[in-house]
Amino acid sequence: MTAASSPCPSLPWGPGWREAAWAGLNRPWDLIIIGGGITGAGILNLAARCGLKVLLLEQNDFASGTSSRSSKLVHGGLRYLKQLHLRLTYECVRERQYLLNSIPGLVEPLDFTYPLYAPGGTRPWLMKLGLSLYTHLSPQAGTYATLEPAEIGRQFSDLARMGMIKGYRFGDAATDDARLVLRVLSDGLRAAKGNALALNYAHVDGFLRMGGKMAGAAVADRDSERKGEAFAPVVINAGGAWADAIRAELGLAARLRPLRGSHLFFQQQRLPIPTALMLEHPRDGRPLFLLPWEGVTLVGTTDVDHPFDADEEPFISGEEQTYLLEALHARFPELHLAQDDLLAVQAGVRPVVRHGKKDPSQESREHILWDEKGLLTVAGGKLTTFRLIALEALRSARALSGRIPRASAALPVVEEADPACLPNGLDPLLARRLCGRYGSAADMLLRDHPDLRDPVPGTATVWAELAWAARHEAVEHLDDLLLRRTRLGLILGEGVNALLPRIKEICAPVLGWNEERWLREVERFQIARRASWGRMGGSSISRGTGSAS
Ligand code: FAD
């Protein structure tokens, strides 16, 4: 296919879509999904491909919950193997391969180096055993390599050599989590050809019941006071860490153990790593990840009980920052990394099912489905395994409604996009990246904005992506655009402020924002960024009421 003949994809969120969505909310649906993270997006995608009329309701922005705050790994779960969670490791490995094949440019291979230190670290023989099993589970990912400290030292010049006894290299994969949600959602909506709707800023605040059975959900936009009702015989709760709060509407007791995981972001020049590292924390041996991601270095994560207030943004605690910096001091002593070096931070809450383990890290990450009073709740699980979770959720939904057909694992989650279809002369890396993020719409994105193909300074994002997101990706607030559609508010830290005038010039007219609205949005964005991602943040902010007005 030549560039000129590439098809014009139908776009899910066109001009005026939000008003039309609210007006048409009360038409009959086969299925309602609560939650626009990766779990909800995966279910919508497969349900739409099965021909169902499906409605997804997200209280804030798509991916604004845990699905934009992960470690960005589409991973084989080596860590879970250590805890003998074999099924999860096997599923992660299989799904990683599936996603690498299906969405190149968005899910990309990433090599990990795992140095071992003595005394106290994992013994090399145990590591070899684990890696043999791990690579055996996923032969396509290749095998692992044993490395001597001198070789590791050549690659990671700042990494401490003292005590290093051996190291290993193995293959894994990484993604942009928030973009993965958008890709899965938008491809699902396109496949639905008008039969599916994904509405952000639509909070489910109650259930509709008829003759003792589930009949739908009551919905409210907490910013605009808009309210509505949506009817369907099946409602799936994909509310992540908020799943218990949703279940509480039916008087159901809590079953989740919310666990916070936090990350630190550094400029790559300050913590340079050529490829990913897995390190054992010198204090307790927990594995930590260091990733080169979108031009910055990401370090994480912690795993601590989170006193969950559904309306408060999670934020990294002082102890978590100290814990992560302690590991960096031990393994990168010459860099003298300090809090002042932080570009940004990130905290997310794992929707883990409570099994009563003392140590949070021992709680299983496997997902579970509950059917209670006609509400199907899906909890736990990984970003990596979203397709399997969606398949299982739809299979369980069949028990609740005869209208739900059998979902097949053979259904694709995304349409293939060929970088060769993009305009000639484009940098092949950029072509791959755009195809991964926007699928077949990448071509239109570039053609609509021929003058915006240059990158935002210091990033791999091109200006056209901002213009495209503003017009076509259900953006309601500036933080949607800068924290999730693009990650500029995160990867540039305070540096994003210098770009605001250009962003305004490109996006405000498309979004129909006048000067007063723009100023309100900038204030809201700064509050949201500081509350969750800013290194000096932590001021309490309520979810869904981030409005500065
Ligand atoms: P969420 O993304 O939280 O989505 C739930 C959504 O429901 C939210 O957007 C919320 O606003 C919405 N909602 C809640 N209540 C309502 C309501 N009443 N009405 C409407 N909407 C509502 N997995 C990996 O595979 N790889 C990793 O590297 C990885 N790293 C992780 C690191 C950390 C620190 C954490 C915390 C998790 C990590 N995970 C990882 C796990 C993965 O991120 C989560 O399993 C996944 O993102 C959960 O997605 P979800 O859709 O279930 O939840």
Helix (H, G, I), strand (E, B) or coil at 284: coil
Residue 88 lies in a domain: no
* Torsion angles phi and psi, residue 457, rounded to 5: -50, 130
The residue whose C-alpha atom lies closest to atom 52 belonging to ligand 1 is 240
User: What is the model's pLDDT at position 9?
Assistant: 59
Shared-domain flag, residues 235 and 116: no
Question: Residue 539 pLDDT more than 50?
Answer: no
Alpha-helix residue ranges (DSSP H) falling in 299-357: 318-331
Question: Residue 141 pLDDT more than 70?
Answer: no
Shared-domain flag, residues 424 and 528: yes
Question: Residue 76 pLDDT more than 90?
Answer: no
Buried/exposed code over 143-164 (b: 16+ C-beta within 10 A; e: otherwise)? ebeebebeebbeebeebbeebb
The amino acid sitting at 301 is: T
Q: pTM of the full predicted structure?
A: 0.95
Rg (CA), the chain: 23
User: What is the model's pLDDT at position 143?
Assistant: 84
Residue 346 lies in a domain: yes
Q: Picking from 88-92, 119-123, 151-155, 241-245, which range would have the lowest pLDDT averaged per residue?
A: 88-92
Shared-domain flag, residues 429 and 513: yes
* Torsion angles phi and psi, residue 393, rounded to 5: -60, -40
Going from the Cα of 378 to the center of ligand 1, the distance in angstroms, rounded, reads: 11
Which has the higher per-residue pLDDT, 272 or 120?
272
Q: Which domain holds residue 503?
A: 419-533
> Which CATH number fits the domain that encloses residue 442?
1.10.8.870
Shared-domain flag, residues 182 and 167: no
Residue 10 lies in a domain: no
CB atoms within 10 A of CB 218: 15
Question: Residue 5 pLDDT more than 90?
Answer: no
Residue 308 lies in a domain: yes
User: What is the model's pLDDT at position 145?
Assistant: 94
The residue whose C-alpha atom lies closest to atom 26 belonging to ligand 1 is 73
The amino acid sitting at 48 is: A
Shared-domain flag, residues 429 and 504: yes
Contact in structure between 192 and 210 (CB atoms under 8 Å): no
> Which CATH number fits the domain that encloses residue 339?
3.30.9.10
Max CA distance (Å), the chain: 71
Please report the atom of ligand 1 found closest to the CA of residue 385: 25
* Torsion angles phi and psi, residue 161, rounded to 5: -95, -25
> Which CATH number fits the domain that encloses residue 62?
3.50.50.60
Of the CA atoms within 13 Å of residue 127, those in its CB half-sphere come to 23
Shared-domain flag, residues 312 and 369: no
Q: What domain count does the chain have?
A: 3
| Ligand 1 pocket list (CB less than 6 A) | 34-40, 57-60, 64-67, 69-73, 75, 203-204, 238-242, 246, 261, 301, 348-351, 381-384
The residue whose C-alpha atom lies closest to atom 45 belonging to ligand 1 is 382
Shared-domain flag, residues 457 and 502: yes
Question: Residue 183 pLDDT more than 90?
Answer: yes
Buried/exposed code over 50-68 (b: 16+ C-beta within 10 A; e: otherwise)? bebbbbbbbbbbbbbbbbb
Question: Residue 10 pLDDT more than 90?
Answer: no
Residue 414 lies in a domain: no
CA distance 115 to 161: 10
Question: Residue 51 pLDDT more than 50?
Answer: yes
Which residue of 43, 45, 69, 71 sits with most ligand 1 atoms within 8 Å of its CB, as the best mutation to test the pocket?
71
Contact in structure between 34 and 41 (CB atoms under 8 Å): no
Question: Residue 154 pLDDT more than 80?
Answer: yes
- Match 């270095």 to its residue by tokens: 297
CA distance 185 to 192: 11
Residue 206 lies in a domain: yes
Question: Residue 464 pLDDT more than 90?
Answer: yes
User: What is the model's pLDDT at position 535?
Assistant: 66
CA distance 310 to 48: 29
CA distance 301 to 320: 9
Sign of CA dihedral 474, 475, 481, 483: negative
Going from the Cα of 401 to the center of ligand 1, the distance in angstroms, rounded, reads: 26
- Give the closest residue to 77 by CA, choosing from 8, 173, 155, 1: 173
Q: Residues 143-166: what's their mean pLDDT?
A: 95
Residue 153 lies in a domain: yes
At 536, the pLDDT band (50, 70, 90 cuts) reads low
DSSP classification of residue 483: I
Shared-domain flag, residues 268 and 164: yes
SS3 of 404-470: CCCCCCCCCCCCCCCHHHCCCCCCHHHHHHHHHHHHHHHHHHHHHCHHHCCECCCCCCEHHHHHHHH
Which residue of 67, 74, 477 sits with most ligand 1 atoms within 8 Å of its CB, as the best mutation to test the pocket?
67
Question: What is the overall mean pLDDT for the chain?
Answer: 90
CB atoms within 10 A of CB 165: 14
- Give the closest residue to 234 by CA, choosing from 422, 400, 446, 65: 400
Residue 520 lies in a domain: yes
Question: Residue 490 pLDDT more than 90?
Answer: yes
User: What is the model's pLDDT at position 416?
Assistant: 85
Please report the atom of ligand 1 found closest to the CA of residue 38: 51
**Highest-scoring range by mean pLDDT, 79-93, 116-130, 362-376, 383-397:** 383-397
Shared-domain flag, residues 161 and 292: yes
The proportion of the chain whose per-residue pLDDT surpasses 70, expressed as a percent, equals 94
Report pLDDT digits (tens) over 500-525.
999 999 999 999 999 999 999 999 99
Q: Picking from 45-59, 134-148, 336-350, 452-466, which range would have the lowest pLDDT averaged per residue?
A: 134-148
Shared-domain flag, residues 337 and 271: yes
Shared-domain flag, residues 434 and 522: yes
Shared-domain flag, residues 146 and 193: no
Tokens of 487: 């990650």
Report pLDDT digits (tens) over 210-236.
998 999 999 999 888 899 999 999 999
Going from the Cα of 204 to the center of ligand 1, the distance in angstroms, rounded, reads: 17
At 549, the pLDDT band (50, 70, 90 cuts) reads very low
